Amino acid sequence: MYQGMLHLHSVLRWVILILLLVAIYKSIADRKKPFTAGHRKTGLFLLISADLMFLIGLYQWIFGDLGLKSIRENGMSVVMKDNVLRFFAVEHFVGMLIAIIMIHIGYSYAKRKVEDSVKHKRAILYFGLALLLILIFIPWPFRDVGVGRTWLPGM
């Protein structure tokens, strides 16, 4: 089951990245136009995907070898000295949590009664920050913490 969750987590990464790019692009392209239901729906799909991704990641962190288990078995001082263990037990988890908070804040502006231009600016800002954090904290195959991982699961 853990391996299946890892594959789903990897696939959802691409869904979230695409939805973030679409949401940012739509707000940039339409920044002088009304904030429509389409903008809100894109943000909502992004929010749902990010929350689902977080729940899957939390499952992996609790039950996998690189999260809570590595902290319990090795101690926090050993985990913090090892690049790979630190990345998965602390950095990836905290970075993605902050990114999801940014997505929530960006989406919350879609529901507020403020000017449409403000909604677009806030969506660009918070979704852009979330995109940056996610790109930084993904264990890409070309990074030392992502060695052995693939661009898509099963490849």
Among residues 63, 59, 44, 61, the alpha carbon closest in space to that of 108 is found at 44
Give 81-105 pLDDT, tens digit per residue. 999 999 999 999 999 999 999 999 9
Residue 12: what residue type?
L
User: Would you kindly state where each structural domain of the chain is located, as residue ranges?
Assistant: 2-146
Alpha carbon distance, N-terminus to C-terminus of the chain: 18
The reported pLDDT for the residue numbered 110 is 82
Model-level pTM? Answer: 0.89
Give 20-63 pLDDT, tens digit per residue. 999 999 999 998 899 888 999 999 999 999 999 999 999 999 99
Give 13-28 pLDDT, tens digit per residue. 999 999 999 999 999 9
